[in-house]
Structure 1
Amino acid sequence: MKKKLLFFLLPSFLLLCNSAAGNDALLCLKETAKQEKEDKIQTNLLSAIALVESGRYSKDYPSGIAWPWTVTAEGKGNFYPSKKEAVKAVLELQKKGITNIDVGCMQINLKYHPDAFKSIEDALTPAKNIAYAAKFLKRNFEETNSWGVAATRYHSKTDNKALRYEDKLLDAWKRLTKYGNPAATEIRAKQKDLSRETVKKINKEINERKKAKKDASSAPQKKKILPGSPESKALADKWRKQKLEEYMARKKQEARKKYGDAPIFEEVTTSEK
């Protein structure tokens, strides 16, 4: 009886697991599509980043899927079957002293974004994970005025790393353009503004602006001179002396024009006999 019952329940259990996995498969892309609309981010851009960060193959969705329970540490990524197991894995890594950990749909780094979430559970909640990523992406956009460049700088602002990331991003973008976001209710993907030339040009302009700003901030500040202070009096004396010298030079020039090369009174020397 027990064996028969187990045999009867096993297919139902597997069906339940597959159903849960199927539902989880679209959690990330559903939230990225929603966030793109709410934050007015270029359609499919946040979704493409998610596919690069936590993407995995899916026989059901040719665009691929982003897996919400993805954890990466020490260069190794793992797709956990549930949020509970992903949270457990992160806590175990932290117990070992490992802090450089990427989590969730958008692979937010817990070391470099320590204040992004209140807890590991929050960090692995797709809506919160993606909302933070969207905020980070928008900051990049405000800095570059280009969604394409903002996306390539999501992973790193170093030019070489940004360009390598661009290749992966373009591949994900093209799949979304061709097949659409399977979780989106409205597909309006447009491929633009992601050329290497554009990235390099804008990155150069940004770096030049940053350098100019840094140079300006490090330049010695002029000391404020108060009226009546010794510095103020010294400047006034210097100004009067300069004006007097200019006046005397002008008078000499006028005298030379009038009298030629004959000595003029300022230059006459006398000697006693």
Structure 2
Amino acid sequence: MKTYIFLLLSSVLAVTASAGMAAASDGDTDCLTFIRQAEGYYRIPHGLLEAIALTESGQSGRPYPWSLNIAGQPVFAPSYEAAARRLRAADGSPRRDVAVGCMQIHMRFHLTQFGDPEWALLPRYNVWYAARYLDTLYRSFGNWETAVAHYNASDPPAQRRYLCQVASHLRVTAPESPLNACPAAPSATLRRRETMAARRIGSLIVIGER
């Protein structure tokens, strides 16, 4: 079933980006709707994906769908159309120095999975792609703490800072979660693993750029 969902997503993303603008205008814009769906589907611990989204794009206590990070500068665009105009260079080519959307998917690493950057901006595809990526990291590393740390894909000190940011939001989204404590130091798993493996997969954001 998961393979079918991914293939279906891939086929949908092959449609033109102009259709994506229509989808956004139809009200398909709430990050939290898709976060809760994806958490359930991938069995991500309750509140964790939302806490990551708040770390990545939080604005007034909610993940913000038209959030961008362009070469390290945060931008909260007023609409899909306004954000989409920032995703391409003057010659029309996709920018690769930008992270986009609810989950801040970084085009340097993930553009090829979408084809057109405008698709990555849409909450439905942004969130489901990020959830699948987090699930892949969990299956690779075997625990959620390390998966979240490598979602950021920085060095261990930056990973710890990122985990602490996520934990602070998790204390609101899931107060009962065992993951809502800031780690005192990088775990043995983080120290033991080479972060280059995660960099080859790709990072959604670089914590130093926020």
Contact 1:102/1:110 (<8 A) preserved = yes
State the TM-score, normalizing by the size of structure 2: 0.71
C-alpha deviations, 1:180-222, integer Å up to 9, x for none?
xxxxxxxxx5233755268421113434xx8xxxxxxxxxxxx
Partner of 1:117: 114
Query: Given the alignment, which residue of 193, 200, 207 partners 1:206?
Result: 193
Contact 1:146 1:193 in 2 (8 A): no
Kept in 1: contact 2:46–2:174 (CA 8 A): no
Residues matched between the structures, number: 171
Instruction: Kindly provide the amino acid, as one letter, of the partner of residue 90 in structure 1.
Output: L
The aligned residue for residue 234 of structure 1 is none
Ranked by relative contact order (alpha carbons within 8 Å, sequence separation 6 or more), the top structure is 2
1:100 Cα deviation after fit: 1.1
Match of 2:55 in 1: 52
CA distance in 2, matches of 1:67, 1:198: 30
**Of residues 190, 200, 203 in structure 1, which corresponds to 2:177?**
190
Identity, in percent, stands at 26
Q: For residues 149 and 94 of structure 2, what CA distance do their matches in structure 1 show?
A: 30
Task: Return closer, same or farther for 1:94/1:202 CA change in 2, 3 Å cut-off.
Answer: farther
Superposed CA deviations along residues 87-122 of structure 1, whole A, max 9, x for unmatched, are 112124775985211001111011111212132221
Whether the 8 Å contact between 1:149 and 1:194 is mirrored in structure 2 is no
Aligned with 2:35 (options 32, 36, 39): 32
What residue identity is the alignment partner of 1:192?
L
Distance in 1 (CA, whole Å) between partners of 2:166 and 2:66 is: 21
Please name the residue that 2:84 is paired with.
Answer: 87
Name the counterpart of 2:167: 170
Is the deviation greater in 155-164 or in 41-50? 155-164
Output the amino acid matched with 1:116. Answer: Q
Could you tell me which amino acid in structure 2 is paired with residue 148 of structure 1? E
Structure 1-normalised TM-score? 0.56
Cα RMSD (Å):
2.7
Q: Distance in 1 between matches of 2:169 and 2:177?
A: 13
For structure 2, list consecutive stretches of 5 or more residues without a partner in the other structure: 1-23, 198-210
Say which is worse superposed, 110-119 or 81-90, in terms of deviation: 110-119
Instruction: Report the structure number with the largest CA radius of gyration.
Output: 1
* Alignment-mate amino acid for residue 31 of structure 1: F
